[in-house]
């Protein structure tokens, strides 16, 4: 007795434990499955967070005229006319060992430091030197107090009295085997006119007589015979006075801003030819500052009243056009300068009372701060630290956290004017060959591609599936139905890789060779069938009873085959007579459509394979679920099977068919492998059926393996996955609800 | 006319139309399966080698394509001439008008070799150590006699390279990591130096043995001649198969066919997956589907049991059920992206930091692998199993459950002894459908760990035998990769057809099996409520 009681006890405890275990396990699994949506959302949502900035400690530094932060933003180099190149830590403003051996102090004029650390200085002895700023961090220490700024100087060139204010310097790489580096300089002369000159390293004199770091140049410690540089004029149109200028990236052109409110583009002549004014664009205010964004393609223009814009030079058909293609929120007061981030397209602009960081492509303001008397401002190379110094030397620092500045809803869904494009367009091109590439992340071409693929798939699949289901459920004999249904289930089981492979490697070339015969097939089969009708109606009744009434498919199969063969046979003659011998040429000439081998028709056909069985199965279920009483009543009233099917069964089952179409749509939208293999994967936005497309799903498959983890593209791909998930989920839920409702409706029959 | 009018008014025309669309669908299926079967299975049958004269000299090869005259282009024939190392390209289109004097010479051979694809030409001589020991016809017979020994020798070399030297390499690598770890802690590494020397000696011994075997293998060489007289000498060990296609009868051709089929199923690939076999891909697919099934069945059954037996049947549960069912329709690439983000970077990254920190920055689990791929596919197919299991659980008659409870069994005992066995066939159906779906899905795998060529398989002889962090090959991905990312897609196409056929067969058979099971269950359930 005791043993059976303890057995019962064990059983009871086990029962309770299993109930708890299964409930917990079941809930966890369901939560996990639904949590996929949450995880994907969590990965995607940082894209849309606003930038976040924090004011860091201020420091008191001696006043200077240019700031150059190091990469980490913890140390700062300054240029000052009186003191030269000096360094300070940001935290506390402790001075660091200054860079030695520069041009003679006090400097007469100098440029600011560009993104690569280059700058130019006119020393007290009227010699122009070019410097490159780097940082010496002994033993890779991370303590900024041990760092020191290092300036490497090149070529002091005597320039006499002809230089007033240095505006811009460009280093040109050595060309040819014997040549050294050369520099082009644009400057204002003492009279305020714009001049430029080129210096080559062969004409250089040593920067500093006590420069011991150059033992390879033993020559000419003696006074160098100074040949003043050849300054060439850049003549502006009458009445225009230049305020600032920048050399283009290749050094062959100059952008100049004028007091009268225009930006001018000069082509510097080669080999002594004079410079020519090639283009100009008006600016609503006098131009007070110029700068470049990363990549040196977009010229940033700042005005006297705080207006900010970006201008680009477009070269087409041998002509140059200047075009303003971005406008940014205004600054308070005249714009004093720019500094671009070296990592992405954000840039800093500042006026005496405001510092702001904007992003070029999205035109969004990521950061702004107000103050008073700002003389200079700088942005660290990664764009995460902002420095501003006023006339007394007080340095203010901010940190900026904007990991995904390239995304805004206008970028994703609207037309954007990108660098190098003539107008705003929808473009998807997520990466390019260089580091300064502007990512073009518009989702519209992908959404369009998805819709196009789905459209062509549905055009092909819907008639075949629904009419086929109608025939199977209403007209076919039960034996035929039992053969057809497993065949269609097999069609549903085909892996989409195999379908895509056939479409891409077999159908596409076949279709290209015999496009005409494929397009003629429906017509040919129709004609063949029509030719059979007079024969059929004259057949004796027993024949028609035996082969009609549900067995039509058996002989329609060879008929269709015959139609296909007829189309293939007739096509060459058709092409010769009506299409002047070449289908593709005719297509191009009369409709302007190009023909790609892997196009939407091939995709539509292949996706049909994937989608037809789904729509067929669900439609067939819905059509068969229509109560017998309805069909019997209709037939009893004298209607033919077709009339019954078309007017009674189909309308009754239409909610089920609708739900089938929804599920099929969901499948077509999410199909990846077929699209990947059977289209060219080009994100074009054309309805041309002989063109390819790129869908959201295929885009994810192609781009995700190469997207840097947790970067902008990665998160954007998660966002598109979320879109796909939501879309298909909604479609399937609607379909399921409709089906459940339908089931309830017919329970009572 | 009256007959036509009756026919038309009845709507028979539309019936024909709908029948025609169905016929088109059926033709599509049949055409697809048939085309793949013919192209795939026909690949291994030896085709005759045809020789023809062109103005540039004789051309010898298999006829692999015809193109009719179109516009200005004349009719062309495509010859598979092989000899990629001699000619630079192995397929040639020649206008029909330029060809004459067709013949099928009996001494022409197709030589399948380890590199550069097949060689099509004639055997000139067999040499040993540089001295010819047989010429012409006799050479062909002599090669036949020695070929199997040469192949065995090659296999021995390969085995020593992979297994013995490979094992030594992994031991040396483990030693290096151990050394690195001890250095970081500042401990003594002299003992390890002794072991390192031992391993090095064994390695040198293995290498010298390999060198001797390789010299032996290289001693016997064959000189082959192309149709236009260029010669090429290769070691006998580099030859995989000799096919004198024109001299074989049906029996001989069948033997070659079966031998090629066997190689396809059991050998490793060569020539960047365009030749050889697909055994690693088959193995990888099977392993992944197995691991996925082991994961998916408990998960699916537990979730279904919860939903049907233990949870309160209200509107919340109905919504949950609808939600889970609809997950079956979500695109597989979404699951792939989730697998990449959560499993690979999330879980994998954490596991690496916790357990494999000394190997970082080389990721162990923080990159794609068979474990993450199987988990992703398990999540993908769980809704299928849940739906099938729910149906199966619902089909167990209430009377049986109530009888069990009436006899005093607890709920769990009822489930374990009555419900689950009764639902087992349905669960099996769900499992089979899940396996079929898993075998065919490629998109999520592309993101979570499948590769073009895996250096080693997830299951091998070195401890711990089952390496869940390794990448693997998959038949579906093989089709995509070889078909679309192969340097020589013409040569690769037949392989892809055969792989596609194999995959198709597997998936279709699984599905048919599941369907049969399901219809038998439905019939049984329909008539089994007699209690």
Q: Mutating which of A9, A19, A33, A522 best tests the B interface, going by the most B Cβ atoms within 10 A?
A: A33
List A603's β-bridge partners, or say none: none
* A571 band by pLDDT with thresholds 50, 70 and 90: confident
Q: How far is CA A54 from CA A47, A377, A534, B485, in A?
A: 20, 16, 86, 49
Comparing CB atoms, the residue among A23, A490, A533 nearest residue B310 is: A23
Instruction: Take residue A575 and report the two structure tokens written for it.
Output: 């092409």
Average pLDDT over residues A352-361: 94
Give the start-to-end residue ranges of the domains of chain A: 56-233, 444-746
Do the chains contact at A700 and B21, CB–CB below 8 Å? no
**What's the CA gap between A348 and A161, in Å, rounded?**
34
Q: What is the pLDDT of residue A218?
A: 40
User: In 10 A of CB A547, how many CB atoms?
Assistant: 14
Average pLDDT over residues A328-338: 93
- Cis peptide, bond prior to residue B464, ω within 30 of zero: yes
Closest among A353, A362, A364 to A396, alpha carbons compared: A353
Do the chains contact at A36 and B338, CB–CB below 8 Å? yes
Do the chains contact at A737 and B322, CB–CB below 8 Å? yes
- Cis peptide, bond prior to residue A244, ω within 30 of zero: no
- H or E element in which residue A648 lies: none
Angle at A306 between CA A303 and CA A309, to 5 degrees: 60
Instruction: Take residue B284 and report the two structure tokens written for it.
Output: 């990888």
Comparing CB atoms, the residue among A15, A640, A737 nearest residue B11 is: A640
Considering only residues 511 to 540 of chain A, which have any Cβ-Cβ distance to chain B shorter than 8 Å? 513, 525, 529, 533-534, 536-538
Q: Which CATH class is domain A444-746?
A: mainly alpha
Residue of A nearest to B435 (CA): A493
Q: What is the pLDDT of residue B402?
A: 93
Closest among A654, A621, A614 to B25, alpha carbons compared: A614
Do the chains contact at A717 and B311, CB–CB below 8 Å? no
* B223 band by pLDDT with thresholds 50, 70 and 90: confident
Do the chains contact at A504 and B511, CB–CB below 8 Å? no
Residue B185 C-alpha, separation from nearest chain A C-alpha, in angstroms: 22
Q: Which residues of chain A does B17 touch, with a Cβ-Cβ cutoff of 8 Å?
A: 467
Output the furthest CA–CA distance in chain B (Å, rounded). Answer: 107
Helix residue ranges, H only, A538-582: 541-547, 552-578
- In tens, the pLDDT along A190-199 reads 888 888 888 8
Q: At which residue do the structure tokens 């408990």 appear?
A: B298
3-state helix, strand, coil in chain B (%, to 5): 65, 15, 20
Average pLDDT over residues A45-60: 90
Residue of A nearest to B451 (CA): A705
List B132's β-bridge partners, or say none: B127
Average pLDDT over residues B440-450: 91
Do the chains contact at A553 and B476, CB–CB below 8 Å? no
Do the chains contact at A501 and B496, CB–CB below 8 Å? yes
Do the chains contact at B480 and A669, CB–CB below 8 Å? no
By the CB < 8 Å criterion, does A11 face chain B?
A: yes
Q: What is the pLDDT of residue A206?
A: 65
Residue B509 C-alpha, separation from nearest chain A C-alpha, in angstroms: 9
* B474 band by pLDDT with thresholds 50, 70 and 90: very high
Nearest-10 Cα torsion for B212, B215, B216, B218:
160
DSSP symbol at A333: S
Considering only residues 715 to 734 of chain A, which have any Cβ-Cβ distance to chain B shorter than 8 Å? 717-718, 721, 724-725, 728-729, 731-733
Choice among A245-249, A566-570, B255-259 with the minimum mean pLDDT: A566-570
Comparing CB atoms, the residue among B337, B479, B511 nearest residue A717 is: B337
Indicate the average pLDDT of chain A: 86
Q: What is the pLDDT of residue A154?
A: 82
Average pLDDT over residues B233-259: 87
Residue B511 C-alpha, separation from nearest chain A C-alpha, in angstroms: 7
The answer, yes or no, to whether residue B282 has pLDDT greater than 60, is yes
Q: Which residues of chain A does B32 touch, with a Cβ-Cβ cutoff of 8 Å?
A: 494, 499, 502, 609
Q: Which residues of chain A does B35 touch, with a Cβ-Cβ cutoff of 8 Å?
A: 502, 506
DSSP symbol at A416: B
**What's the CA gap between A631 and A649, in Å, rounded?**
7
Residue of A nearest to B498 (CA): A498
* A313 band by pLDDT with thresholds 50, 70 and 90: very high
Contact B518, A496 (CB under 8 A): no
* A694 band by pLDDT with thresholds 50, 70 and 90: very high
* A572 band by pLDDT with thresholds 50, 70 and 90: confident
* A213 band by pLDDT with thresholds 50, 70 and 90: very low
By the CB < 8 Å criterion, does A640 face chain B?
A: yes
* A176 band by pLDDT with thresholds 50, 70 and 90: low
Helix residue ranges, H only, B277-344: 279-305, 315-326, 332-338
Contact A567, A521 (CB under 8 A): yes
Comparing CB atoms, the residue among B24, B309, B334 nearest residue A724 is: B334
- In tens, the pLDDT along B364-391 reads 898 989 999 999 999 999 998 998 898 8
Choice among A126-135, A347-356, A575-584 with the minimum mean pLDDT: A575-584
List B269's β-bridge partners, or say none: B276
Choice among A4-8, A150-154, A217-221, B336-340 with the minimum mean pLDDT: A217-221
- In tens, the pLDDT along A576-586 reads 787 777 777 78
Q: How many helices and strands in chain B, by DSSP H and E? A: 18, 13
Do the chains contact at B26 and A548, CB–CB below 8 Å? no
Residue B319 C-alpha, separation from nearest chain A C-alpha, in angstroms: 10
Residue B349 C-alpha, separation from nearest chain A C-alpha, in angstroms: 12
Comparing CB atoms, the residue among B24, B335, B379 nearest residue A560 is: B24
The answer, yes or no, to whether residue A214 has pLDDT greater than 70, is no
Considering only residues 169 to 228 of chain A, which have any Cβ-Cβ distance to chain B shorter than 8 Å? none
Average pLDDT over residues B444-454: 90
Q: What are the E-state strand segments in A555-705? A: none
Q: What is the pLDDT of residue A748?
A: 57
Q: What is the pLDDT of residue A191?
A: 83
Choose from A97-101, A313-317, A441-445, B479-483 the range with maximum mean pLDDT.
Answer: A441-445
Q: Which residues of chain A does B300 touch, with a Cβ-Cβ cutoff of 8 Å?
A: 29
Do the chains contact at B19 and A471, CB–CB below 8 Å? yes
Considering only residues 91 to 110 of chain A, which have any Cβ-Cβ distance to chain B shorter than 8 Å? none
The answer, yes or no, to whether residue A223 has pLDDT greater than 70, is no
Quote the ipTM score: 0.86
- In tens, the pLDDT along A517-568 reads 888 888 888 888 888 888 888 888 888 888 877 788 888 888 888 888 888 8
Q: What is the pLDDT of residue B528?
A: 43
Residue B445 C-alpha, separation from nearest chain A C-alpha, in angstroms: 10
Nearest-10 Cα torsion for A171, A175, A181, A186:
-40
Residue A152 C-alpha, separation from nearest chain B C-alpha, in angstroms: 36
The answer, yes or no, to whether residue A611 has pLDDT greater than 60, is yes
Q: Which residues of chain A does B4 touch, with a Cβ-Cβ cutoff of 8 Å?
A: 533-534, 537
DSSP symbol at A352: S
Nearest-10 Cα torsion for A426, A428, A433, A434:
60
Contact B335, B448 (CB under 8 A): no
Residue of B nearest to A462 (CA): B21
Q: Mutating which of B278, B333, B407 best tests the A interface, going by the most A Cβ atoms within 10 A?
A: B333
By the CB < 8 Å criterion, does A468 face chain B?
A: yes
Choice among A71-80, A179-188, B339-348, B349-358 with the minimum mean pLDDT: A179-188
The answer, yes or no, to whether residue B106 has pLDDT greater than 70, is yes
Do the chains contact at B436 and A493, CB–CB below 8 Å? yes
List B444's β-bridge partners, or say none: none
Q: What is the pLDDT of residue B530?
A: 38
Comparing CB atoms, the residue among B446, B479, B512 nearest residue A501 is: B479
Question: 3-state DSSP call for residue B261?
Answer: helix
B219 vs B293, higher pLDDT: B293
**What's the CA gap between B445 and A465, in Å, rounded?**
30
Do the chains contact at B4 and A489, CB–CB below 8 Å? no
Q: Which residues of chain B does A495 touch, with a Cβ-Cβ cutoff of 8 Å?
A: 439-442, 476, 503-504, 507
Q: What secondary structure does DSSP assign to B38-78, as a single string?
A: HHHHHTTSPPPPEEEEETTEEEEEEEEEEE--BTTBPPEEE
């Amino acid at each position: 007795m005791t043993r059976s009681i303890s057995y019962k006890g064990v059983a009871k405890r086990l029962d309770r434990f299993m109930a708890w275990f299964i409930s917990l396990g079941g809930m966890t699994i369901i939560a996990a499955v639904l949590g996929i949506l949450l995880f994907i959302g969590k990965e995607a949502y940082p894209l849309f967070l606003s930038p976040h900035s924090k004011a860091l400690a201020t420091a008191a530094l001696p006043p200077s005229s240019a700031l150059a932060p190091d990469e980490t933003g913890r140390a700062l180099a300054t240029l000052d006319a009186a003191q030269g190149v000096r360094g300070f830590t940001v935290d506390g403003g402790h001075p660091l060992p200054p860079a030695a051996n520069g041009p003679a102090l006090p400097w007469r004029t100098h440029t600011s430091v560009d993104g690569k650390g280059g700058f130019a200085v006119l020393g007290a002895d009227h010699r122009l030197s070019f410097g490159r700023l780097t940082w010496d961090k002994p033993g890779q220490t991370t303590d900024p107090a041990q760092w020191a700024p290092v300036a490497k100087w090149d070529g002091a060139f005597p320039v006499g009295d002809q230089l007033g204010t240095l505006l811009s310097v460009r280093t040109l790489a050595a060309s040819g085997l014997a040549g050294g580096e050369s520099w082009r300089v644009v400057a204002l002369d003492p009279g305020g006119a714009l001049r430029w000159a080129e210096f080559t390293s062969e004409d250089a004199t040593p920067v500093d007589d006590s420069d011991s770091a150059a033992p390879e140049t033993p020559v000419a410690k003696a006074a160098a015979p100074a040949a003043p540089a050849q300054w060439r004029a850049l003549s502006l149109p009458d009445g225009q006075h230049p305020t600032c200028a920048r050399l283009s990236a290749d050094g062959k052109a100059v952008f100049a801003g004028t007091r009268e409110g225009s930006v001018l583009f000069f082509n510097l002549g080669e080999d002594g030819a004079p410079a020519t004014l090639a283009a100009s664009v008006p600016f609503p205010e006098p131009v007070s500052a110029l700068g470049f964004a990363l990549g040196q393609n977009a010229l940033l223009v700042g005005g006297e009243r705080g207006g900010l814009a970006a201008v680009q030079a477009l070269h087409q058909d041998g002509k140059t056009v200047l075009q303003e293609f971005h406008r940014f929120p205004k600054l308070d007061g005249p714009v004093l300068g720019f500094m671009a981030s070296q990592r992405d397209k954000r840039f800093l602009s500042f006026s005496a009372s405001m510092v702001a960081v904007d992003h070029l492509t999205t035109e969004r303001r990521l950061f702004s701060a107000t103050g008073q008397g700002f003389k200079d401002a700088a942005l660290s190379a990664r764009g995460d630290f902002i420095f501003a110094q006023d006339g007394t030397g007080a340095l203010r620092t901010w940190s900026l956290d904007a990991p995904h500045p390239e995304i805004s809803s206008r970028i994703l869904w609207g037309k954007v004017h990108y660098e190098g494009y003539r107008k705003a367009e929808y473009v998807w091109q997520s990466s390019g060959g260089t580091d300064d590439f502007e990512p073009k992340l518009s989702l519209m071409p992908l959404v369009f591609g998805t819709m196009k693929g789905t459209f062509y798939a549905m055009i092909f699949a819907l008639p075949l599936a629904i009419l086929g289901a109608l025939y199977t459920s209403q007209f076919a004999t039960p034996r035929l139905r039992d053969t057809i249904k497993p065949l269609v289930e097999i069609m549903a089981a085909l892996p989409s890789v195999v379908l895509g492979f056939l479409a891409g490697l077999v159908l596409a070339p076949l279709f290209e060779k015999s496009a005409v015969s494929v397009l003629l097939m429906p017509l040919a089969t129709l004609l063949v069938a029509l030719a059979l009708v007079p024969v059929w109606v004259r057949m004796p009744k027993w024949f028609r009873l035996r082969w009609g009434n549900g067995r039509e498919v058996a002989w329609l199969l060879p008929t269709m085959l015959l139609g296909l063969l007829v189309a293939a046979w007739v096509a060459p003659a058709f092409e010769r007579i009506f299409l002047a011998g070449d289908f593709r040429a005719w297509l191009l000439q009369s409709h302007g459509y190009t023909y790609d081998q892997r196009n939407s028709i091939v995709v539509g056909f292949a996706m049909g394979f994937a989608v037809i069985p789904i729509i067929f199965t669900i439609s067939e279920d819905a059509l068969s679920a229509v109560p017998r009483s309805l069909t019997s009543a209709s037939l009893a009233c004298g209607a033919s099977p077709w009339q019954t099917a078309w007017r009674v069964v189909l309308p009754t089952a239409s909610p089920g068919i609708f739900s089938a179409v929804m599920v099929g749509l969901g499948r077509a939208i999410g199909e990846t492998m077929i699209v990947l293999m059977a289209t060219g994967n080009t994100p074009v936005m054309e309805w041309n059926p002989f063109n390819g497309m790129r869908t959201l799903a295929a885009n994810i498959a192609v781009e995700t393996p190469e997207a840097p983890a947790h970067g902008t593209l990665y998160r954007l791909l998660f966002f598109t996955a979320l879109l796909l998930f939501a879309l298909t989920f909604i479609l399937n839920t609607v379909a399921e609800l409709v089906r459940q409702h339908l089931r309830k409706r017919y329970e009572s029959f | 006319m009256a007959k036509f009018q009756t026919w038309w008014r009845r709507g028979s025309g539309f019936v024909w139309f709908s029948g025609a669309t169905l016929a088109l669908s059926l033709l599509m299926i049949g055409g697809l399966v048939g085309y793949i079967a013919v192209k795939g299975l026909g690949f291994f049958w030896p085709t005759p080698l045809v020789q023809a004269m062109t103005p540039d000299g004789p051309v010898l090869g298999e006829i692999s394509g015809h193109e009719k005259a179109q516009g200005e282009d004349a009719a062309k024939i495509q010859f598979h001439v092989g000899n990629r190392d001699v000619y630079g390209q192995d397929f040639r289109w020649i206008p029909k008008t330029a060809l004459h004097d067709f013949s099928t010479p009996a001494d022409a051979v197709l030589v399948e070799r380890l590199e550069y694809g097949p060689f099509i030409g004639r055997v000139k001589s067999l040499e040993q150590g540089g001295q010819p020991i047989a010429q012409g016809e006799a050479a062909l017979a002599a090669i036949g006699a020695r070929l199997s020994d040469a192949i065995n020798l090659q296999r021995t070399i390969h085995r020593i390279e992979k297994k013995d030297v490979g094992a030594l390499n992994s031991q040396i690598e483990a030693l290096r990591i151990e050394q690195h770890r001890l250095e970081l802690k500042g401990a003594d590494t002299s003992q390890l130096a002794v072991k390192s020397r031992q391993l090095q000696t064994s390695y040198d011994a293995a290498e010298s043995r390999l060198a001797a075997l390789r010299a032996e293998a290289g001693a016997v060489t064959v000189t082959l001649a192309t149709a236009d007289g260029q010669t090429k000498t290769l070691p006998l060990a580099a030859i995989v198969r000799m096919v004198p296609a024109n001299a074989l009868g049906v029996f001989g051709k069948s033997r070659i066919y079966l031998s090629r089929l066997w190689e396809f199923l059991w050998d490793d690939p060569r020539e960047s997956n365009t030749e050889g076999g697909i055994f690693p891909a088959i193995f990888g697919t099977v392993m992944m589907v197995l691991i996925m099934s082991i994961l998916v069945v408990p998960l699916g059954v537990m979730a279904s049991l919860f939903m049907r037996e233990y949870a309160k049947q209200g509107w919340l549960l109905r919504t949950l059920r609808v939600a889970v069912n609809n997950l079956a329709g979500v695109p597989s690439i979404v699951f792939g992206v989730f697998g990449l983000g959560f499993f690979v970077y999330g879980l994998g990254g954490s596991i690496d930091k916790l357990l494999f920190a000394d190997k970082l920055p080389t990721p162990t689990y923080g990159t794609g692998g068979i474990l993450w791929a199987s988990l992703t596919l398990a999540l993908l197919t769980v809704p299928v199993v849940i739906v099938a299991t729910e149906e199966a659980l619902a089909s167990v008659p209430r009377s049986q459950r109530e009888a069990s409870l009436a006899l005093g069994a607890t709920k769990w005992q009822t489930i374990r002894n009555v419900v689950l066995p009764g639902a087992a066939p349905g669960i099996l159906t769900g499992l089979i459908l899940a396996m079929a779906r898993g075998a065919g899905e490629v998109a999520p795998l592309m993101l979570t760990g499948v590769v073009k060529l895996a250096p080693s398989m997830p299951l091998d002889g070195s401890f711990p035998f089952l390496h869940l962090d390794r990448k693997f090959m998959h038949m579906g991905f093989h089709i995509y990769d070889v078909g679309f990312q192969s340097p020589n897609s013409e040569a690769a196409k037949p392989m892809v057809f055969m792989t596609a056929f194999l995959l198709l067969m597997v998936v279709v058979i699984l599905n048919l099996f599941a369907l049969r099971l399901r219809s038998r269950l439905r019939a049984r359930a329909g008539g089994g409520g007699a209690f």
